[in-house]
Structure 1
Amino acid sequence: MSLIPRGKAFDPFSLDLTDPFDGFPFGSGGSSSFFPSFPRASSETAAFAGARIDWKETPEAHVFKADVPGLKKEEVKVEVEDGNVLQISGERNKEQEEKTGTWHRVERSSGKFLRRFRLPDNAKADQIKAAMENGLLTVTVPKKEVKKPEVKSIQISG
């Protein structure tokens, strides 16, 4: 059992940019030349930027499932970069303020999200399929068949 929170776990295949100095007193967005600077999401995009995605490997495929509630399939993009990087992105627009009502609470997030995953060598990147139903995006990346090594028996003399 892992005691690392899900959002902080190390994922060697994820290409998301994170700030390792986030929360430290010297910060990362300041003018200090001693520490690297990382781009930060604006407050408008921060809440939606980390779209939750599960990655499951089955004997036949790698299956990615992303929660994208309220988005239409036209608002989500699934792309492959450099032949082996799966990129899932989209945008939820902020609801336009109406002059006839008063907002008491705004909790639903809006903005852009972008997630990237380096696909393993056994992925068939040219046969990826994506489907969306009820706010759940499912991306299926078929796997190449694993060739069993050829075994040749050698006669032992003597």
Structure 2
Amino acid sequence: MSLIPSGFFGRRTNIFDPFSLGIWDPFQDFPLRSEFAAETAAFANTRIDWKETPEAHVFKADLPGLKKEEVKVEIEEGRVLQISGERRKEEEEKKETWHRVERSSGKFLRRFRLPENARVDQVNASMEDGVLTVTVPKLEVKEPVVKAVEITG
């Protein structure tokens, strides 16, 4: 007897959609998936926070050691936010002996499907102290005007 609902693993997209259920593998469509080294996996799965305020959707990613020129922020397919980049591995010189390599390197790619209320034409991004902040303003929701109608008769 399985405790996992039928179809739970059936999701086949690498776009994070907070409005659907299922386990998501961010690397399922990534080229050379089977050739990923252990040291690359940590950076490749860069952690990103997503919060919603009354005015916007705000994404924050910790990208220590990267310059803004090494990071790309794009809107794809209408409402898909894509954040990608690469941290290159330090080259070893002949005179050097590495005793330990724990800092991760490699490419990363994260995608998020934005909700209908996202203003994808007004997205802005900034990077400060190794933290990328992407702000996606929300459409203004106007309160409906309620007009009382007199009942006759």
Do they superpose with TM above 0.5?
Answer: yes
Match of 2:145 among 144, 147, 150: 150
146-155 vs 80-89, greater mean Cα deviation: 146-155
Q: 1:18 aligns with which of 11, 14, 25?
A: 25
Which residue is 1:71 aligned to?
A: 66
The Cα of 1:38 is off from its aligned counterpart by 6.5
Q: Which amino acid aligns with 2:84?
A: S
Shift of 1:77: 0.2
Could you tell me which amino acid in structure 2 is paired with residue 81 of structure 1? E
Equivalent in the alignment of 1:107: 102
Whole-Å separation in 1 of the counterparts to 2:112 and 2:145: 32
> Cα–Cα, structure 1 residues 115 and 104, in superposed 2: closer, same or farther, change >3 Å?
same
Equivalent position of 1:138 in the other structure = 133
Shift of 1:46: 1.5
Q: Which runs of 5+ in 2 are unaligned?
A: 1-15
1:14–1:117: 8 Å Cα contact kept in structure 2?
A: no
Count of paired positions: 131
Q: Using the alignment, how far apart are the partners of 1:14 and 1:78 within structure 2?
A: 22
C-alpha displacement of 1:114: 0.3
Quote how far apart the aligned CAs of 1:156 are: 2.0
Name the amino acid aligned to 1:54. D
The 1-side partners of 2:87 and 2:100 are apart by 18
Percent of aligned pairs with the same residue? 69
Contact 2:17 2:112 in 1 (8 A): no
Aligned counterparts of 2:130 and 2:83: Cα–Cα separation in 1: 14
Q: Could you tell me which residue of structure 2 aligns to residue 22 of structure 1?
A: none
Where in structure 1 are there 5+ consecutive unaligned residues? 1-10, 20-36
Letter in 1 for 2:25: T
RMSD over aligned Cα atoms:
2.3
Cα drift, residue 13 of structure 1 = 3.1
Q: Which residue of 1 aligns with 2:75?
A: 80
Quote the Cα distance in structure 1 between the aligned partners of 2:128 and 2:19. 24
TM-score of the superposed pair, with normalisation by structure 1: 0.75
> CA distance change for structure 1 residues 94 and 135 in 2, over 3 Å: closer, same or farther?
same
Q: Distance in 2 between matches of 1:144 and 1:59?
A: 10
